[in-house]
Amino acid sequence: MKKRIFVIHTGGTISMQEDKQSGAVKPTDKNPLVSFDHLFDEVATIVSAEPFHLPSPHITPKEMLELKNLIEQTLQKKPFDGVVITHGTDTLEETAYFLDLTLTTDVPVVVTGAMRSSNEIGADGLYNLISSVRVAACSEAKGKGVMVVLNDEIHSADNVTKTHTSNISTFQSPQYGPIGIITKRKVLFHHEPAIRRKIPVAAVDKRVALIKAYAGMDSYLLSALKELHYDGVVIEALGQGNLPPAAVSAVKELINEKIPVVLVSRCFNGIVQDIYGYEGGGKQLKELGVIFSNGLNGQKARLKLLIALGSEQASINLEALFES
């Protein structure tokens, strides 16, 4: 029996074309992917939607919330065996992670994209879309959270990140690797996320900043966040979770104003820990009330904090949330 797959097109390189005269890659009047629905006739019945057509740098949490609502409302009206989302790659991992945190369905949800536009030599978009439909239609994919599928690999939304500006194998999961692979004949899973945390989201209107630490960092930029009325901040700290001493006074100011400060590492492997006891070290920061995140990168930690601050739950323990 053929599976029913809901395919949502949102824009991005996968739906763009290269102008042969200027070399510029840009959106076209018609999404070229829509004309390929017939290629899936033997695998699945495809129902398509295109709620917006945007390059991924134009995607905001509002569009992510729109996708979440569209998926849940559609699944409530009609039964589908899987969902596939085509998306630009620049913010693909953020949309995937947002949906992983907020969607309540166990139906497989796959996000995919392309590094080459639809009319370039070696275009990877159609192949990635076919692979994603195969994964979404696979019974073993159920209950594994939101997945990212490109280049014959299946990644979990919380671990995957874009690692190269242009290479088609850009999407990697640095600490844990892919959770599965796609061959010509099979979809093979070899592990799955151990923890899946859901946050009931109501709004995405809070202001959360993402700041990267650097040698010689002072307090001015962090202090400005308080004056600009930000609701939270994520800092990509040095090493295992340390900051230059000149930045500590601003961290104290933010915490005293009840503005949550979440710490991740600017390294792409490992987690932050309260190890070092010098001025600006992780132990001091932990004692001040800084929240340590368990392995997320900066952009995903920012989304997690944004969703938590706008959650339907009256009170969320942020420290416990970021430990999981």
Would you name the residues annotated as active-site residues? 13
Cβ neighbours for 188, distance < 8 A, ≥ 6 positions apart: 180, 181, 182
CA distance 155 to 176: 9
Cβ distance 261 to 255 under 8 Å? Answer: yes
Which residues contact residue 259 at a Cβ distance below 8 angstroms, ignoring those fewer than 6 apart?
225, 226, 230, 231, 232, 233
Helix 61-77 × helix 92-102 angle, to 10°: 50
184: CB partners within 8 A, 6+ apart:
none
* Cα angle for residues 251, 253, 257 (degrees, 5° grid): 115
Let me know: does 114 contact 13? Beta carbons within 8 Å: yes
CA 9/CA 82 separation, integer angstroms? 14
**Which helix (H) or strand (E) segment is 6 a member of?**
strand 3-9
- DSSP annotation of 313 reads S
Query: Do 155 and 189 contact (CB within 8 A), yes or no?
Result: no
